[in-house]
Each structure stands twice: as structure tokens, then as C-alpha cells.
Amino acid sequence: MTQRNDSIQPHGGSLINRVATTAERDEFLNQAKYLPRVQLDQRALSDLEMIAIGGFSPLQGFMAQGDYETVVTDMRLANGLPWSIPITLSVTETVADGLKDGSRVRLDNSTGKFVGILELTERYHYNPAHEAAHVYRTNDPKHPGVEVVYGQGSVNLAGPVWLLQRDPHPYFPDYQLDPALSRAQFQAKGWKTIVGFQTRNPIHRAHEYIQKCALETVDGLFLHPLVGATKSDDIPADVRMRCYEIMVTHYFPQDRVILAINPSAMRYAGPREAIFHALIRKNYGCTHFIVGRDHAGVGDYYGTYDAQHIFNEFHPQELGIIPMMFEHAFYCIRTQAMATTKTSPSLPEERIHLSGTKVRELLRNGKLPPAEFSRPEVAAELMKAMKL
């Protein structure tokens, strides 16, 4: 049964808003110099923002121990609601010992700017190896998500948060569309069914193919590239956004596509992150979510379609968003079109596959990816970026 956008409630039923009002902000500023401080890294800063704008609804802050433990082991909050990634603020023992439960904590960014408030309710120890094994399915410290878990403090701070103020994005202010605004835009366009697409990579022909396949069956496409923290060897967010601008301008019906940024950080948690990404897009108002090959994967840590299989562990109604599963797309030499094994009669040697690693290698060597892999305007933009 097709779900209608006006019936798609945020996860948990209400869209959270933890952005301080003017009066609250003035109160926090007056207290600022007397409050203990915790400095946020890039991921924690993204998490603060996503909590505050409702992207992580129903979370109102960093997870208490009860929620943390059931999320790690069972992919559910303590109340049973599906949730697959722990959202925590970790600090050292020394920092934690200097704080008091029931007090307010000033949250600063990496430059020392006052950006938020934590109403501290709890401090608790956790087992990094246990978290890594469950969330990332590996204890290998070379995994980028596991590396973060092993490198952070040994104590989690829990409690509701406030974002001091909602600032324009420093690089993509025109594409900063928070969940309340994306929902309003979907409604204004009369879209009842909306499919969301997540990526941390530049768009290529396989992406375009599955996006357009999905767009054949819904009212609108929500292109939602992630612009939070990623691995150092991932293509920078500004390059990826320029590639999307090119694609939307030249290759998509512009009245059926909305391009906006996803401010959250990558975890590289593969299957678990596919669920997480779907719930985020539900909060933004999407009714459907594209899950392709090795969603949110890295290296060889996950099976090709593990991120699709994990949806079978939940009842569709409790997730509240419909996953749209796609196989690995390729250019079929025989039919001279994009296809998957479901639609192509070709032999393996008649299929053109290129990995992101291979494309980066071509670009570094001054070679454009073939037209079967990338639109020429996008390839030129990537080449230009590699030369900078």
C-alpha cells in the first residue's frame, strides 16, 4: 500500500525541536562563563545539530545508558522503538569527573565557540569493543567507525541538549533544508510519495539509473547528500554538491527533484547505517528510501546486500518508511543502456563496472571516466577538482 506524505509522522510521532528560543538563548549566554565546558569534535557537533533540528527524532539529546545498551545490542531504544546507531557524547574520565549530574554543561565547537547546552542527567562507562562488534560487526581498528569508537573518551555524557542558534551552513546555505522545511516543501509541491537518496560519493550513472527508476513510481525525489564528517580520502562535499547541481540542471526534471544537504556525519556502519539513514529521511518527510549495493559500507567488512537484508529484521510498519531495493547497476554493452542483472541479458564481460577507487585512480592519472560510468560534465568537474 502506498503511503501518503500527509500520514508520514516523524519517527516516534513528533518532530523534535531543540533550537533555543531568543529568551532561552539569552539565559544560556548569561550563564556561559560560569558553566563547565565540553568541546565537541566534528561528529558530535553534527549530532548536536541533527538532534536540535529533528533529524534524529525522537532523540532530544545524547543517549542515556538504558537507550545506549538496547540500541547497541537490539537496535531499539529502551521503549522498543527501532533505532540502530548509538548517539553518544564521549569524554575522558578527567572531564567527566569535573561535571555534576543535574547541571548544565556548555558545549563548544573546536574553536571554542559556545554552540549548545547539555542538561547532564547521567555519566556512564561503556565497552568500546562490545559497541564495535555489534554496531560495526568488526573489532578491526582499521575500520573508520571502529577507529572513532576506540579513540574516544571512556565515559558517555547523557541528557537533553539545546542548540544555541541555527546558523546558515558555512558552505551550502542555499541547500540547508531542515526537516520542518522539507516537509513543508513536499506539501507545497503536492507530493504524497517521496523517495530519499543518501550518498557520500559523487553521482555516477548507476546512481542516476536507480534514482530515475525510483522516480518512475513516486511523486518526488529528495536528493540528500551527506556533508558531515567523512573519511579523508572521500571526495570533498563541495565537489559532490557541484556534481549534483550539474545533474539536476541537465539530466533530471527539476520540478520533481529537491536537492538538500544532510548535515550528519558518516559512521560507515553498513547495514545498521542503512536503517539509520532511512529513519533520518522519514523524519525529513520521505515515504520511501533507496537502498543499493553495499549501502554505507567500507572495504570488505559487509556483504554486498547486507544493508538490504537487515530491513527484514523489522516489521515495515514499525520503521514507517518503505525501502526500495536495487541491485548493482552497470552499463550493458549489449543493450547499450544502464541495467542490472534483473533486466540485462548480458554476459559478465558485456558489463562496464567501475569502482570509486578506480575512478579516483583514473582522475589522478589525468584520465576522464568513460561516458558509460559518468556524465561528461560530472567527469570534467571531478577532473577539475583533482587538479586543485
CA dist., res. 375 & res. 367, Å (int): 14
Mean pLDDT of 194-202: 90
Active site residue 242: no
Percentage of the residues of the chain whose pLDDT score is greater than 70: 97
Active site residue 17: no
pLDDT of residue 355: 67
Domains of the chain: 5-163 (3.10.400.10), 173-387 (3.40.50.620)
Report the chain's mean pLDDT, rounded to a whole number: 94
**Above 50 in pLDDT, residue 3?**
no
pLDDT in tens, 262-276: 999 999 999 999 999
Burial of 198 (0-12, 13-18, 19+ CB in 10 A): buried
Catalytic residue, candidates 104, 123, 183, 200? 200
CA dist., res. 279 & res. 309, Å (int): 16
Mean pLDDT of 315-319: 93
pLDDT band of residue 224 (cuts 50, 70, 90) is very high
Mean pLDDT of 271-289: 98
pLDDT of residue 300: 93
In the chain, the amino acid numbered 64 is: A
pLDDT in tens, 91-116: 999 999 999 999 999 999 999 999 99
Tell whether the torsion through CA atoms of 182, 184, 185 and 190 is positive or negative: positive
Mean pLDDT of 362-381: 87
Of the listed ranges 84-88, 196-200, 286-290, the least confidently predicted one is 196-200
pLDDT of residue 125: 98
pLDDT of residue 143: 97
pLDDT band of residue 2 (cuts 50, 70, 90) is very low
Classify each residue of 11-40 as buried b or exposed e, where b means 16 or more C-beta atoms within 10 Å of its C-beta: bbeebbbbbbeeeebeebeeeeeebeebeb
Catalytic residue, candidates 17, 109, 139, 201? 201
Mean pLDDT of 245-269: 96
**Of the candidates 132, 156, 148, 161, the residue with the CA atom closest to the CA atom of residue 65:** 156
pLDDT in tens, 329-367: 999 999 999 999 999 999 999 999 876 667 777 887 888
**Above 70 in pLDDT, residue 7?**
no
pTM of the model: 0.95
pLDDT of residue 1: 32
Report helix, strand or coil for 1.
coil
**More confident call, 384 vs 141:** 141
Grid cell digits, residue 92: 575522558
